[in-house]
Amino acid sequence: MSGADKSSVEKRRHDYPIVRLLGIIGWTATVLIAAAIPAFYYTFAIRSERQALQIETAYTAKEIQKIVFASPELWEFETVRLLEIVSKRTVEDDEDERAIFNATGKIVIETKSKVPAESIASTAPLFASGFPAGYVQAKRSIRDILWGTAFAGILGLIFGLLNILFFNSFPRRLLKEALTRLSAEKEKTEKTLSSIGDGVMTVDREGRIAYMNPVAEMCTGWRSDEALGRNFKDYYVTRGESERTENEGHAPCTLVSRNGEQRTIEEVWSPIKDKNSVEEGHVIAFRDVTEKRNLERQLQQMQKLESLGVLAGGIAHD
Amino acid sequence: MTGSRVVAIMTVLAFLAPAVFAEETIRVSGTGAAVGGMKLLGEAFGKKHPGVTVVVYPSLGSAGGIKAVAAGKLDLAVSARRVKEEEKVPGLVEKPYAKSPYIFATSSSNPASGLRLAEIRDIYAGKITTWPDGRMISLVLRPAHDAFTGFLENLSPEMKDAVASSKKRPGMFIGGTDQDAADQIERTPGSFGMTSYSLVASEKRNIKPLAVDGIPPAGKDGINEKYPYFMTLSLVYVKDRTAAAIGNFIHFIASKEGETILRMNGQIPIGKAQSQP
């Protein structure tokens, strides 16, 4: 492949919409993976922690409820027992904070530990014979979950990057190379067809023009961008056609160009078939034989005149 | 006496009766070590003062009793420890009235009669787990902020560590109140825990106090004053809110009859309490 061809191929390598689309899909998947892993982790971890805290708070309230039931007027002063109950926790002190409030919202007792701002809370009511007596509030730090989310985010990024590498290194690269090879072949074919001296057109099975080489453009008077996709009969106007047979030469006919110019051509129609031998269209190859015909006629004329000259010379001699 | 005079007198009496026979209530609670004794004192006082009822609520603990008095929910609290600075309110009075031994106790069915202090420490540390007869020691713990736990922790740093380690063992029973702990010690064969002699005596519990380093807390003659571990029981009240009936009750506690009731129920009276609040 020449240098110009190579740079052309390189340019084309980045222009394929399907490859761009695959790249967009790859990046989208990467972003989704990078975001989804930490998002899922955070959602489920918070949900699990919240449920656990709700259960613990409800259990704590149940224990306190026994004291409230036994002493509805003085339960708030059972300092030692209440402190003992709220101090029972399943996590470290600095991760959990509990408090008991009475019916007016005043704190009855609270643990000394304080959780950071990043925390979740749960409350459970207390009742004295069916009437509100207060509530228990528990707060739990979610710093561990946030750290876990950050770690999951890093994992997500890693998996996302692996996803991008996979899309770039395998399917996308293979697709790019295949399309590039195909493009190079197409270009080669087009150059070949452009270089030959005959007009070449391809039409599909509906008769729409799929390709015209420069000679066909010159003979018909239509540019390929004007004729592509249109019915060939509107752009390839002939007169005096004989019956067309496949892959055989026809008797000359007249091609009428866009500006009315007439040319004598010899055309060959060849079918295009797929691997199942189903016809997909035709290749029309034609040669401008106008000059040739003119020369033949001139030669014939000269031969006639020559014959007449010989005859006249013979008579004069006599 | 004519009928009309009788009616007149009865009418006057009907108006006066509420004033004469007004029902007064003295609300008392606090440390479980003293509520049993307070009930007995209250009953005796009530007999002498009809119209005054001493209502002794279940134990709130020393802290709860002090807090309730400060909040006006109780008239009189009994505390087994000193009132803390942060618990004081204007007019709060703290008046020691008796002392009683801290005891290490077991159920009456246990043949053991005493332990050395080092053995008690090892029981809390989990190093000694059975009685001499091979029965398992069922340790009854007290809450972390309880006066009994505080007493133990102050005995020595080693005892403090031993108590801390006992709380970390799974499945341990923690008596939320003095009465809860006493219930557990009473009904569990092989039990061991702390309570007060005043509670055992006033509530007639089936609990055996143990001698410590050979010194028993009490004997046939009553409390052994050579025993080294005593709690001081104090009356806590707010002076300005104290009605006459409460003053009378406090005076009664310090009276001969009150002191006799105290002595019969595991407490040694501390001098005379002031008759007027």
Spatial separation of the C-alpha atoms in residues A75 and A82, rounded to whole Å: 9
Kindly state whether A90 is in contact with chain B, defined as any CB-CB distance less than 8 angstroms.
no
Tokens of B179: 């009465």
| Total Cβ atoms within 10 A of residue A151 | 13
pLDDT, tens digit, 9 for 90 and up, residues A66-120: 899 888 889 999 988 999 899 887 777 778 899 999 999 999 999 888 888 889 9
In the prediction, which pLDDT does A91 show? 75
Cβ contacts below 8 Å, chain A against chain B, sum to: 52
Model pTM score: 0.65
A77 touches chain B (CB under 8 A): yes
Let me know: does A202 contact A281? Beta carbons within 8 Å.
Answer: yes
CA distance B263 to B37: 10
Structure confidence at residue A29 (pLDDT): 85
Instruction: Give tens-digit pLDDT for B137-166.
Output: 999 999 988 889 999 999 999 999 999 999
What integer is the mean pLDDT of A191-203? 88
Checking if the pLDDT of A158 tops 50, the result is yes
Largest CA distance in chain B: 87
Chain A residue with CA closest to B27: the answer is A74
Predicted confidence band at A283 (pLDDT cuts at 50, 70, 90)? Answer: very high
- Rounded to an integer, what distance in angstroms lies between the CA atom of residue B63 and that of residue B165? 25
DSSP A210: E
**pLDDT at A19 (0 to 100):** 78
Give residue B277's pLDDT.
35
Q: Exposed/middle/buried for B9, CB within 10 Å: 0-12, 13-18, 19+? A: exposed
The pLDDT of residue B274 is 37
Q: What percent of chain A has pLDDT over 90?
A: 45
Type of residue numbered B19:
A
Q: Looking at residue A211, what is its pLDDT? A: 92
Tell me the average pLDDT across A279-288: 91
Q: Among B60, B144, B145, whose Cβ lies nearest the Cβ of A77? A: B60
Give me the pLDDT at residue B140, please.
94
8 Å CB contact between B196 and B101: yes
Taking phi over 0 as left and psi of -120 to 50 as alpha, with beta for the rest, B38 belongs to alpha
ipTM associated with this complex: 0.73
Token pair recorded at residue B158: 């080693």
Q: Report yes or no: A80 at the B interface, CB cutoff 8 Å.
A: yes
Query: CA B116, CA B96: separation in Å to the nearest integer?
Result: 30
Q: CA A42 to CA A28: how far, in whole Å?
A: 21
pLDDT at B90: 92
- What parts of chain B have a pLDDT lower than 50? 18-21, 272-277
Pair of tokens at residue A132: 């509100």
Residue A113: per-residue pLDDT:
83
Give me the pLDDT at residue B33, please. 95
| Probe site for chain B from A78, A87, A92 (most B CB atoms < 10 A) | A78
**A249 pLDDT higher than 60:** no
Q: Which residue has the tokens 């090879």?
A: A181
Residue A218's pLDDT is 92
Q: Is A54 helix (H, G, I), strand (E, B) or coil?
A: helix
